[in-house]
Amino acid sequence: MIDKKFIINLQGNEFVKFEGLLAEFHNNKGKSIETEELSTSTPDEPKFKAVVSGDRGTFTGHGDANANNVNGL
C-alpha cells in the first residue's frame, strides 16, 4: 500500500507522486530502471520504453504523451 503522503488529488482524481513510485520500487527490492526514447517518438508525441529489474523479476513498460492523454498540469 502506498503511503498517503505520496498521493495528490488533482481535479478530483488521486495520483501517486514520483516519490511514491520510487519508494514502492525500493520497497519491492528494485535494482535498476533503464529507459529509452523510442525511434517512433516525435516532438508532439514522445514515446518511451522502461525496463525495471529486481528480486521479483524484470518488467517492461511503454508510455507515450500527447494532447489527448495529458494536460497542462
pLDDT score of 1: 83
Q: Residue 14's pLDDT is what?
A: 94
Q: Which of 47, 38, 50, 49 is nearest to 66 (CA)?
A: 47
Instruction: Check residue 71 and give its pLDDT.
Output: 76
Bridge pairing between strands 47-54 and 57-64:
antiparallel
pLDDT at 70: 86
For the chain, the structural domain boundaries read 4-64
CB of 51 closer than 8 Å to CB of 59: yes
Q: Which three cell numbers stand for residue 5?
A: 503522503
pLDDT tens for residues 49-73? 999 999 999 999 999 999 888 877 6
DSSP tally for the chain: helices H, then strands E: 1, 5
**Looking at residue 63, what is its pLDDT?**
96
For the segment 8-48, what is each residue's pLDDT rounded down to a tens digit? 998 899 999 999 999 999 999 999 999 999 999 999 999 99
